[in-house]
Structures are given as C-alpha cells and as structure tokens.
Chains A and B, each alone.
Chain A
Amino acid sequence: MSETFQVTARKWRPMRFEDVAGQEHITRTLKNAIASGRLAHAYLFTGQRGCGKTTVARILAKAINCPNAAKNGYEPCNTCDICLSITEGRSMDVAEIDGASNNGVDDVRMLRDNVKYPPLQGEYKVIIIDEVHMLSTSAFNALLKTLEEPPKHLVFVFATTEVQKVLPTILSRTQRYDFRRIQVDVIVALLRKIADADGIKIDDEALLLIAKKADGSARDAESIFDQAVAFSGMQVETSRLREALNLIDLDFFFEVSDAIAARDPKRAFELAGEITSRGYDIEEFFSGLLEHFRNILTVCVTGSTKLLEVSKVHQEHYTETAKKFSEADLLRLVRLGQNAFERLRASHEPRIVLEVALVEMMLLERAIEVSQLLEEVRGLKTGGRSSGNGVAQEKKTLDEPVTAPPPHSEQQPAPRSSGVEEVKSSAPKNGKRSSTPEPASAKPRAAESDSRTPAPDPEVVASRWSSFGEFLKTKSRPLHSILPDIEFCGVRHSTIYLGTPGKIEKDMLTTMKDEMNLALREFYGSSLSFEAGPKNDMRVKAGSPVVINPEVVQEIVKPKVQERSELEVALMEKLGAQEV
C-alpha cells in the first residue's frame, strides 16, 4: 500500500525542458545552444532549493544524448533506450555525483581518470556534480585542468545552492545560469495541473496558501501539497489545510492588533496561550505579525489598500484597523516586534518572550495621546491654570494602564476619580512628584496635610494612615520600605498600635523610634506615639477586633519540618516565602 506511493516532487519531476516551471530563460537558452551546436563544456546552475537545478541538469543530459531530440524540438523523447537508462540512473555515460560526500581530492582524481574514455551509447559523457559547493579546495583545484580543457565528449554540470562558496577559478571556467525563485502564480498553476491529474479537489485559495508558504520552491510546494492530501484525503479544504500546515489565520492577527489598539494587556496572555495551544510557531507568528503591521502601515501611509496582497474582506478590515493607529505607533510596534524576534533566538523560553512582547505592545503609549498631551502643555503655557486640569487628566489616562493596583491596605485606597484633584493639590507642595509620576504605590495624598487636627481623632488617624505611608517616603526610606508589611491595628490614647509580622520589623521600628515619632508628629500635627508588636497583641491593645489571619492559621496548622532561625521566620512572614 504505502510502498506504491511516491512523493509528488519525485513523481512529477519534469522530464522535458518545457515542463520546467518558471525557468524559461534557462530552458530556452539551453535548447538554443543544443540546436545551434554551441554547447559549453561546463555549466554551473545556481539558485535556491527546489527551483529545478538538478532536474534541468538531468534533462540536459538526456537532450544532448537522445537520438530523437532534434525531431522533438531538442526535447528528450524519454522513450528511447538512452533516455530511459539515464532516467533510471543506470547509464554509463551520465554520472550524477553527490559533491557533499565525494568531496575529497581522491574522488576528483578518480573522476578525472574515468572521463578520459569516450561514451558508450550516446554522443556525450555528462558529469553532474550536485552540491558542488561542498567540494574541498584541493578537490576544486584538482578539477581545474580538466574543467578548462576537457575531452570533446565531456560536459560538466555543477549544481549548487551556495554559489559564493565556489572558487572563482571554477566560476570563470563555467557558464553560469541563475535559476529564479518560482513566482507564486506559476506554482499555483503547477499544483493545479498536478491536482487535476491526480483527481484531487482543491480550491485556488488553498493552492495560493501552499504556494506562498513554499517561498519560491517547487519542491517545497509539492511536499506541502502531499502533506495536505495526506491530511485530508482527496478533497482539500482551506480551513483543514491551515490546520495541517499550522498557518496562522489573518483574522488572528487582526485580533492581536485590535487588542493592541484597545490597550488591553490582559489579552496578551490569552493570545499567547492561543498561539501556543494551537501549535503555531512563535517565530512564524512574529514574522506574520510584522507583515501585518506593515500592511496597516501601508494603508496608513498611502491611504488605500491597493498595495496589499490580501482578499477583499481583509482589505476593508485593514482600512478599519488603520484608523486606530498612527504611523509613529506602527513604527514603534514594528521595532518591538523585531526586538522580540531577536530575543527569541537567544531565549530558552520562547513562550515568555512572546508574552512579554505582547504585553509590551499592548502597553505602548499612543503617539496620538502624547501629541495631544504636548498640545495641552502648550495650552497650559498660554492659557494658565485652567488648562492645568487638562494636563493632569491627560497624564492620568496615560498612566492608568501602567499604574498598579494600590498598595494592599485595609484602608480604602484613594478613589480613582479624585486623581485629578490630588495631582493638582500636590503640585504646589512637591513639584517633582506631579511631573514624574511615581510608579506603583504613588498616591500623592500626603499633600492634604494642611488641614491640621490638633487632637488626634482615631477615625482621622486611621483614614489617613495610607497617606502617611507616602509622607514617610520623603522622610525615611528605610521605614517606608517596611511599611506595607506593617498592619495598622488602631489608635488609643494618642498611641498608634502597629502590628508587625516579625522581629525584624519590630526591631527596626524600635531603633528608629525617634524618626518615626518625628514623622508622625509632622504628618498628623499632634504628638502621637506608637507601639509595635505582633498583630494580634496590638489589635487587643488597640481595642479593635482580633481578626484571625488565614496566613497565620496556615502557619500554625502546618507542622514545621525543621527548626528555623529567627531570620528565616521573619523572611517567611514578611516576604511570603513558603516552606517546601
């Protein structure tokens, strides 16, 4: 069953010059040379994989030996004894040598000895050396003499994909033929012929897909075609083909660009998940995405979809999408994509590179917004304070997606809507802060400290505790750094009770007591002191309800495997490390 199947690339290997797809400039020249008897003694065929070098070499070998060639317009007849023996590889006159495995000087010496004898059947002896770029330098050199002045009956044909590796002294002794990449429509026509002959139903869109993926190579196209047929039988559908070839649907790229336009970083992970779970190649995804950006950019710049090689439906889609982006955005997206492409090569974790790159793209600030912002700034200069709001607002929208959720604290975080106000009121006090938005926990509430309360009202102290954190940042960074781990347990009689997760924090608070007290006094404007200790103790002292922290429960319930040093306990509690 399976023994009888021969891959299309072999079954359909052209046997006549006119069957060779997309290389008319070469086949015509060769036919003319045979017709006029001006055959060169050495040919060099170059071109990328699968464009017909070896095939043409074999046809040439037949054409110059076939006794019927002159009658057939210098095409081999493929029926005479000579043609058949060459096709079956048993001709004594035609030797096809694999340059990669017979690359030593000894092989060439042997060859040189053999070519002295005249051909047995036909007119010419033909030596085809495939992958000739793999010959060693000494082998090349050993060949030079024979190549320059070969016996009359001898024709050399060299085939290679890497002509730059062939010595110049060889090049100058041969006639060089550059094979072209085969055009997409030529490949489509070729595949159509094969499909019809084999009785396979396949539509033009599917053939176009295959031809594009084959990238100018007939052999690639034919083996992809085989794969498609093996996957879906005698009837090939485009959707199944995409699945079989793992081609990424253009619609998927639109999904990506929509998510980028919507600046929805959450989608980045979902999309990355889809890419990997559908088995798409990540490198292929990036090159496809870059092409997609290029298409959008083309529409942006030219204002029309004429230059795009896509279907009608997608052209409209591109027009729509182009409205969402500016040229500057697209250029930056392209750059991000290229960076990711490079990182991909070096990374062991392609999926993370993909995720990070997608998040990066979705966080990209729009050039439009920046230019609007600039406009606002200009307005600020001329229009004065009233448009200052505008700037703040604009800034806010720029920041929003990059600002993290506020620090976790029991107190209510500053509501988002008041952002504008805050920026405004903090501006006079600390100009720096409003111009450079602090990352993460920046909540410039501290500035409200002008409303001084002489007697510490527990409610007020509690509600402004989170702002105190910000204030502390400007006073003492060490204290600020541990603050998120400290729980505000309550106020009683001018004493703030602070719950510490471990000894380190407690010690630190004790040693830096003076600084802390000073900061408290400055911020709340009245003499407050504090006491630090384990959370639950402090809660009791402060008179607030004891909340059993699930973390603590876990810690108690879990049997300890080994004794740990205080430092480790502190680390675990403070930093949330878990025991293994």
Chain B
Amino acid sequence: MWSNVIGEARVKHILTSALEHGKLPSAYLFAGPEGTGKDAAAIELAKAINCLNPRNNGTEACDECASCSAISSFTSPAVTFVHALPGKDNDREESEQKEEDLTVIREQRAAKAADPYFNLEIPRATSIKIGQVRELRLALSRSLAGSKRRVVIISEADMMNAQSQNAFLKTLEEPHADTLIILTSSNATRLLPTVHSRCQEIRFEPLLVDEIAQALQEREELPEAQAAFLARLAAGSYSRARQMIGENVQQMRDEIVNFLRMGLSRSRKNATVEVDRFLPRSAGGSYLEKRQAVEQRLMLLTLWLRDALALATKAEHEIINLDQKEALVRFVSRFGDPQRIIVAIGCIDRAMQLTRLQLQLRPVMLSLIVDLEAALL
C-alpha cells in the first residue's frame, strides 16, 4: 500500500496516475536526497503492478496476496533487486562471492526486505559491476511465467561505473515490453546523460519534519518529543533520522556547541579537552569511526550555526534546535553579525572537506577553532 511510503504525495500521484492511465514507461529514474523512500516507492510500485487483487482501480497493492508478500520479502521471481556487491570487476566471469560476503549480503538483503528505508551496508561493495549488468540482461531475456510484469530495481544506480552504465544503455532503451526498469539514485548527477535521457525522471523531495516525526512515532514507537527533535535534525531524510535514534544526538550537539564556546571564550586548553571528549586520544576506535564522529558533530554544529544565522536575520520561526533557543539568543547577542556567521559556516564546510581528505582529525578541529574565532570575533 502506498502508505508504506512516507510523504512524497506528488511522487505517489505521478505513479498512481501512470498506473491508472496505463502509461508506465519502460524505465524510471527515481532521483532525490538519501532517505526519502526511493527504494520503498520502487518496491511499492512493483507490488502494485503485480498485485493479484489490486485496489483503487489497480493503482494500489493489497499487501496480502501471494505476489505482494513475495515481492516484499524479495523472493518474487518477477522483481529483481540489484545493488552494489563486493569484489573486483572482472568483466567476463560472473561475479563470484566469497562465503562470508554471501552471509553478509543475505543478512543485508533480509534487512532491506523487512524495511525498504534500510540502507544496505555491505563491506567493500563499491560498485555495480558490469558482470551484474550482463547477468541482468541474460535474466531479462528469459520469459517469465505467472507475473504481470517484470520489474528491475537498481538501487543507487550511480554506483554503476561508466562501463556498466554504457553496457546497460541498450537494455534501458528497449527492454522487453513486459519489463519495467527502475533506477534509484541519490547522486543522479553522476549518471551519464545518455542514461538520464532514457528514463522518466521522478524527483523525490526532502520529507517534511512532521512526516518524519509521525513516521518515527508510528514505525519506531518513539515518544513524540524525541521524534520531533530527531525529525528536525534529519534534514528531510527518514533514514538519517532513524540512524540517530540509537545515538545521543543531543549530547553530541551539546558537546560540539561547547567546543565552539570554548574556542570563543578564553581558554584554548579547554578546547583541546573538548575535542578529546569525542576524539579519545589513543584508546579505541578506528580512524573511520573517529572521522564519522567528527563529521556528525560538524554537521550538528553547522545546523546550530545555521540557526544562529536564522536568529540573526530575525527568522526565529526557522530554528531547528528549538531546545537551544536561549543559548542561541545569547550567542547571537554577542556574535550576531550574519556576515560573520556565514564565514563561520564556511569554515566548518572546509573542515568537513579536510576530514574527508583523511587528514589528522585533531589538528583539523583545532585549526577550525582558530578559524572560527577569527571569523566570529
């Protein structure tokens, strides 16, 4: 049922009216930010097409029939779900997977089947290989019994490298009449123009705060207040909101804001201490974990400064960190020059880029503090 997809009324309308008018194209490209339900919508569409007792004029899956449940559990022969796999791209041979990888892949696919908003995290799965594209083409050439229409979902299609994308063009342009190909991508600009031009592109928009909050309450059974807080920080992405459930976001946010304050007040020494709070000097954690910790906090700091900017330009009602309003007011009363806050946000942006270059994190953070001070004071 379409209620399985959060928000996105416009997208749902486009898809249902295409179903109703019998105007499904041979290929869709679902493009839009991460965590807006592109895969979920693709699965829902596949169900609606193949449902045995479709509702609402054939535009909605019943979620009960054999076909629907098979598609939901990724066991239907009619629906192929393609995603990046680990291993080298050894062109000719069919990509063979190692035993331990297979276990992970199976688990991950099961998780995705249970919840379409789940982000697959398969180690070393960096691309959709040309071998997979070949396999897919072969599979599509065989006929299919019992289903109305075959649906191929290529999740995060931009993971196809240039070779795979080119090899896919012919299939994409002229697939069998009974085939629907759905590409989903949160980096659609990385797809070749020749791919874009062969698909009907449907753009997903960031979810509204209320939509995310409601979904968090219904699906994750979060209390209202926490749901609202996470929804505001999620920047329109349900996946991101859900990722933050387990973590103490408020504490992270406060840590990083304290770090900012330290830098702007007297003691640099305390700033170092603050950095060490989330970057344990020697103990525990790989570089990647530390980097993620830093990136998450920098993101929260950007949001916080963005609120300060909103406040400084008198757009109070736009504030995301509502619980921090007093602190923000105090901050703005001292460092309220919007131009300077803009420069400060630029500094954080640069620090983000530096962490992505895999530089040492502590120096990056300490130089960020100096930059921020120069920007704001």
Contact = CB atoms under 8 A, between A and B. Distances in A.
Given A49-B193, A130-B170, A352 B303 contact: yes
B25 A223 contact: yes
A255 B124 CA distance: 47
Nearest to B316: A266
Interface stretch (A36-44, A356-364, A524-532): A356-364
A161 interface: yes
A227 interface: yes
B56 interface: no
A5 B49 CA distance: 14
B236 A2 contact: no
Interface residues of B, number: 90
B313 A265 contact: yes
A400 B350 CA distance: 29
B14 A230 contact: yes
Given A101-B167, A131-B166, A269-B313, A4 B193 contact: no
Contacts of B326: 551, 576
Interface stretch (A109-117, A342-350, A374-382, A515-523): A342-350
- Contact residues of B: prevailing secondary structure: helix
Nearest to A229: B23
Contacts of B17: 230-233
B342 A356 contact: yes
A262 interface: no
Given A49-B194, A100-B169, A3 B177 contact: yes
B243 interface: no
B174 to A, nearest CB: 6
Interface stretch (B65-73, B112-120, B200-208): B200-208
Contact of B10 (A101, A279, A478): A279
Interface string A259-281: 00000011011100100111101
B302 A220 contact: no
Interface in B150-175: 163, 166-170, 173-174
A408 B49 CA distance: 61
A171 interface: no
A577 B327 contact: yes
Interface string A470-494: 0000000010010010000000000
A368 interface: no
A351 B206 contact: yes
B67 to A, nearest CB: 15
Contacts of B201: 227
B309 interface: yes
Contacts of A100: 163, 166-170
A5 B254 contact: no
A7 interface: yes
A161 B335 CA distance: 53
A441 interface: yes
Interface string B99-113: 000000000000000
B342 A360 contact: yes
Given A101-B134, A226-B25, A281 B339 contact: no
A123 interface: no
Interface in A438-487: 439-441, 478, 481, 484
A265 B338 contact: yes
B25 A577 contact: no
B84 to A, nearest CB: 19
B245 to A, nearest CB: 14
A351 B36 CA distance: 15
Given A246-B203, A279-B203, A402-B337, A577 B254 contact: yes
B26 interface: yes
A407 interface: yes
Contacts of B208: 277
Interface residues of A, number: 84
Given A101-B133, A229-B23, A279-B203, A407 B334 contact: yes
Interface stretch (B215-223, B257-265, B281-289, B362-370): B257-265
Given A98-B169, A227-B14, A363-B338, A1 B22 contact: yes
Contact of A439 (B22, B130, B198, B337): B337
A266 B311 CA distance: 9
A363 B337 CA distance: 11
A406 B333 CA distance: 6
A474 B329 CA distance: 25
A405 B336 contact: yes
B25 to A, nearest CB: 5
B138 to A, nearest CB: 11
B242 to A, nearest CB: 17
24 contacts: A2-B49, A3-B178, A49-B194, A50-B197, A98-B170, A100-B166, A100-B168, A130-B170, A230-B21, A233-B21, A244-B14, A246-B203, A265-B315, A269-B315, A276-B236, A349-B302, A401-B338, A402-B339, A403-B337, A404-B335, A407-B334, A481-B265, A551-B326, A575-B261
